[in-house]
Copies of this chain bind each other. A is one copy, B any other.
Amino acid sequence: MTGTVSIAGVELTPLRQIEDARGAVLHMLRADSPGFAGFGECYFSQVNPGSVKAWKRHQVQTQNLAVPTGRVRFVIYDARESSHTHGRTDVIELGRPDCYARLCIPPMLYYGFACMSASAALIANCADRPHDPAESESLAPEALAQGGPLSLLLAGLTS
């Protein structure tokens, strides 16, 4: 696994990859998985080489993310004033076969991601409730330039 999580509430759960010469079967989320908190929506976010999608923050929705195709760097920033990890930034890279895991991001954390692979990456998200623009916030990448989150994200493109 590349990177560790330290922000309160963020979880990284290794997922099973069942190898097969015809193509692997890749676990993602089961209703009987430990910690499963309900199903609201499954969708995909493609990230093209050299592209960054940042920053997002949700008021109530929890993200459950995996990267079955390509490689993605995630940067998570804790701006919750009441959090004991307030001000902390986590950097995680997900992709097969070495970093195939489910990344759980609870509400109220800023997060962004960048494609690290030479071909397009695919993020799958099984969120605990359907998308609702009223609880979803977007900031420009430059909005979190101070203190490191943006440079950590962009480092994924140039390292």
Contact = CB atoms under 8 A, between A and B. Distances in A.
Contacts of A39: 31, 39
A125 B28 CA distance: 10
Contact of A31 (B26, B40, B68): B40
A47 B68 contact: no
A25 B41 contact: no
Nearest to A32: B130
Interface residues of A, number: 36
Interface in A22-59: 22-32, 39-48, 51-53
A43 B26 contact: yes
A124 interface: yes
B47 A22 contact: yes
Contact of A22 (B21, B29, B48): B48
B43 A25 contact: yes
Contacts of A130: 30-32
Pairs of residues from A and B, 7 with the lowest C-beta to C-beta distance, nearest first: A39-B39, A23-B46, A22-B51, A26-B44, A28-B42, A23-B47, A30-B41
